[in-house]
Structures are given as structure tokens and as C-alpha cells.
Structure 1
């Protein structure tokens, strides 16, 4: 069980932080979801842990939104892009800079990231969940439906609407 939790910890934290916009709350949500999985489902088969865990995580995120009545943010992606993630074990200092700094790429990347953050933060919570589970986590439709406690058709609808909204918002920015 420890190995499984370690394997999903960063992705779960990223997902929660994007959804709630607060690192401390995201950490609490992930920790609570992990405890719930261990407490209630440790006796289940290993192949069932992933969908169970993400179902619990999504329920905790939904509960947080109900309590806080706030729109979610996609801040962790911005922080990760900016290099604030200290736990990933990757040291960019070991790479040799052969091309030299390219500020135009950094400016474009930062601008693009801000636009993506803004677009995703504007999605309703269910569309954001469908987008995160399908596009970021790589869940299939059935796994996403199970995690979101809805039908496969609802997942497809939420994802379609999310992608259309993101496409529209991001095309307007160009």
C-alpha cells in the first residue's frame, strides 16, 4: 500500500492543488484521501486501489468546494513550470546549457501558462474534474465515471464542454 501511495502522491497533490488553488488545503485533501483509502480499502486488490483512490480524492475536492464556494485554480502547474517543485529529485543544475538562455521562449511559455491557468480556473468543477482525470491522469471513460460518481455519458459531456470552453478561451487569446 505504501508503494502505491508514493506512486500517486505527486499527481494527486497536483490535481488537488489545481482544483482548490491552495497548497495547504490540497495537502490536507490528499492526506485525508490517503487515510480513507488505507482505512477502508486496504483489503481490496491492488488493481482496485487507483480508481478507489481517485474517487475518494475527487469526493474530497468536491466537499472542499462545497465548503468554500470558490472557483478552482490551476496554480500548481504554474509553480511546477517555474521550477518550484523541490521534491521531484531532478536537479536542472546538472544539465549543461549549450544553447544559452532564450528569453523569448520563457516569456511565451509564461504567458501561455497564465492563459491556460485562467482558462482552466474558469471551468465549472465537474468539467475540471473530467478534464483532469481524462487528459492529465489518463483515466478511461469508465474509470472517470466511477471516480466522479456519474455515468459515462456525463463524463463525455463534461469533457466535451470543458474542451470546447478551453478551445474557445485559448483561441481568443491568440
Structure 2
């Protein structure tokens, strides 16, 4: 899926449409790009946007369940990171620092909504089911219907989880982050993340018991 951001300042949006005038560093680490960006090299930050834009969008989509909102949330995260880049001190990786910004924005968005989980079904099944749960063989029409029902239930059940449980579950099972990475992003202990994950799985199993 193509992700297009709007109204990014200082030419940042060009990173999404052009590969010209990139930072001259060859395969630089994120932290090297950050150091260059902090010195005023806007092309270095554009490279960071290019590097992380798709993952950022997919994380935002897992929270928002809406394509346009996901684009806006991921764009807002990059804008906030750009505005606060001077404050990045390297105590954590840029990866952790940036995605913490994104996750916090997503949680703020969910709090603002204050509405029941959406009953809309998005056709992008892979965002709602773990890869191991997706069928690997052709399905009959009845199986397609059942898969759609399960996917819909998973999406609704996931949105009904408490914010911390939902965050931990999305980052672990949809984005493949480690317990340590999730703990750093959520600024909590690894043991606490494991508790959130366990409770999320138990709640989802209970809601999906009819399909067991």
C-alpha cells in the first residue's frame, strides 16, 4: 500500500516520492542519520521518514482501523519527532524513541474517540489475524465466510481490550517486536508487558470461544 503524507515541512514529504538528494551516507544507522539531522541535514531526516514510514503506518492502522486516520497519525508522529529531534539524547535507540511517540499519539487518539469499537470490516485481513492463523490452502465459499466472521470478531475484540493490553498485543503479534522492545516503548517492566499480553490473549480467547 502506498503511504502518502501531506504538509510535511522543510521538504520532508519529498522522501516519500523521490530518492534524489538523499543523505550521502552509505547504509547509515538510524543514529547516524539522527546526528546529521540534528546538525541541520534535512535529507537525513527524510531518509528516516522513508525508512520507517510503512511500519509507522501499519502500527497506526492497527490502532485506528481507518486508513486516513492511520496516515494522519503516522504523519503527526514524524512531525513531532522532527520538532523534538534536538531533545533526542541517544539513551534509547531512535527506533524506540520514535515508535514511543507514535504509540502515545495512537493511544491519545483512541481516548479521544470514546466510542464503541467499530463494526466495520476491513478487507485487509492480515492486519487482524496473525500470519500463522491465515489459511495456506484454497478455501471453499463456506470457509471464506467463516474466515471473514473470525477476522471481524478478532478486530472488534482487539479494539475492546484495555489500552495497555491492546498496545502490547499489537506490538508483539502484529508488528513482531520483542518483549524488551515493547517494554522500552511502553516505558514499563518486561514482566508487566508479559502480564498485559497474557491478559489480552485470555480475553481474546474468551471472546472467540464460539470459533474454537
Instruction: Give the TM-score, by structure 2 length.
Output: 0.61
Distance 1:173 1:128 in 2: 21
**Paired residue for 2:149?**
111
Q: 1:136 aligned to 2:181? A: no
Unaligned runs of 5+ in 2: 1-44, 127-136
**Paired residue for 2:11?**
none
| 1:64 aligned to which of 109, 117, 120 | 109
Structure 1 residue ranges, 4+ long, deviating more than 6 angstroms after superposition: 42-45
Alpha carbon RMSD of aligned pairs, Å?
3.0
Distance 1:23 1:148 in 2: 24
**Paired residue for 2:165?**
127
- Residue 73 of structure 1 and its aligned partner are, at CA, apart by 5.5
- Relative distance call for 1:67 and 1:100 in structure 2 (3 A) is closer
Q: 1:53 aligned to 2:104? A: no
Instruction: Give CA-to-partner distance per residue, 1:88-139, whole Å, 9 cap, x none.
Output: xxxxxxxxxxx99842342232122112112212211111100011112122
- 1:1-174 equivalences under 5 Å are 1-41=45-85, 48-70=93-115, 78-81=122-125, 102-174=140-212
- Relative distance call for 1:170 and 1:7 in structure 2 (3 A) is farther
Unaligned runs of 5+ in 1: 83-98
Count of equivalent residues: 156
- Relative distance call for 1:127 and 1:73 in structure 2 (3 A) is farther
Q: Please tell me whether Structure 1 or Structure 2 has the larger radius of gyration of its CA atoms.
A: 2
- Relative distance call for 1:81 and 1:62 in structure 2 (3 A) is closer
- Residue 172 of structure 1 and its aligned partner are, at CA, apart by 2.9
Distance 1:74 1:147 in 2: 29
Higher relative contact order (CA 8 A, sep 6+): 1
Distance 2:80 2:162 in 1: 26
Distance 2:189 2:151 in 1: 32
